[in-house]
Structure 1
């Protein structure tokens, strides 16, 4: 069995050795899944459309900017939606505190790379890798926006949330399992926030 070696960073799209197939035998199931997911995403990296889509989504997910923008845009259409925008921003603030200052401190997982894939410009996070805060905030927001917009809007909001979440693994600042964990946390917090929001906005 080949000794376990921490996955190295990519430079110009190449791995810093040893090759992934020689490390699979010594990986945990989660590590094997993360490696498999990264290999699948690597088939997309370098595609101009995919690069622009996921790089942009990753940037817009910083500090939940995309969700605040959506909240404000909706809020301009009616007083009810303006109140929803305030609640959404408050919930995202609470979510960030819970995830970044709470859950992440329990795991302190190392990120797949320190600054992301060299091919993409990303903000260097100071927190642990697990769970993904981008994924968590995305699914919290999608849950609330769907509750307010109705089930017919679910494909839109959860579609956007999924793109933002996957973007973090795409630019290699998160493991795929971080993204899944963040989505699960986001759905849980979103369910709680939905009940609170219903009472606040009643």
Structure 2
């Protein structure tokens, strides 16, 4: 769910190049939104710097890049039968459409900077260069959970995993909380439309 990115090692810092920043408009610091984002970020500070919490949330955040996590789940289910394979193809197609819409259209409407963090990160993390709003990870997670939950008895697992992916983006300081909420709402709309346009394969 990310475009051009730069790598930051576990022992390095997230250096922000001022020459890159000038191409973006300032963050949308609407008073109430900024206060909400800060309040949520303060809550996450209680979890940051703790193991295995850091390792788990950094790992799941990385694994969800480009919807790899959801593609792997779809592929694992797809080997069981032709019906499941058709469902896996449907999931991949819907996620590809979601990525194109969010990264190619929705993000272009907003010019919000990502949270600035120049401290040392406990684990390796790939830093997106795209704008912050909405969260592509959160959008894809909601879409994936909606699609995976159809004709499935594992619905709580899919939604729990989606919530963890979304929360991880705040934990690793890649997104503001409002970015994640915006992404989740975007994903809900895309998922609803996609499920109506591309029906679940029949057995």
- TM-score, structure 2 length as denominator? 0.81
Residue equivalent to 1:196: 197
Q: Are 2:74 and 1:67 aligned?
A: no
In structure 2, do the counterparts of structure 1 residues 87 and 105 end up closer, same or farther at CA, with 3 Å as the change threshold?
Answer: same
| Distance in 2 (alpha carbons) for counterparts of 1:79 and 1:116 | 49
Structure with more relative contact order (C-alpha pairs < 8 Å, separation 6 or more):
2
Q: Shift of the alpha carbon at 1:122? A: 1.7
1:80-159 alignment to 2 at 5 Å?
Answer: 80-113=83-116, 118-149=121-152, 152-159=153-160
- TM-score, structure 1 length as denominator? 0.81
Q: Are 2:175 and 1:174 aligned?
A: yes
Paired residues of 1:116 and 1:171 also in contact (CA < 8 A): no
The gaps in structure 2 that reach 5 residues or longer are 1-12, 15-28
Paired residues of 1:130 and 1:182 also in contact (CA < 8 A): yes
Q: Shift of the alpha carbon at 1:105? A: 0.6
Deviations along 1:6-58, whole A, 9 cap, x unmatched? xxxx99xxxxxxxxxxxxxx970000000000000011001102101110110
Paired residues of 1:83 and 1:201 also in contact (CA < 8 A): no
Residue equivalent to 1:79: 82
Secondary structure at the residue paired with 2:154?
Answer: helix
Paired residues of 2:55 and 2:123 also in contact (CA < 8 A): no
> How many residues matched?
177
| Distance in 1 (alpha carbons) for counterparts of 2:201 and 2:106 | 26
Paired residues of 1:116 and 1:172 also in contact (CA < 8 A): no
Q: Are 2:52 and 1:46 aligned?
A: no
Paired residues of 1:132 and 1:174 also in contact (CA < 8 A): yes
**Greater share of residues in helix:** 1
Q: Shift of the alpha carbon at 1:193? A: 1.3
Q: Shift of the alpha carbon at 1:117? A: 6.5
Q: Shift of the alpha carbon at 1:139? A: 0.4
Which deviates the most, 106-115 or 183-192? Answer: 106-115
Bigger radius of gyration among the two:
1
Residue equivalent to 1:15: none
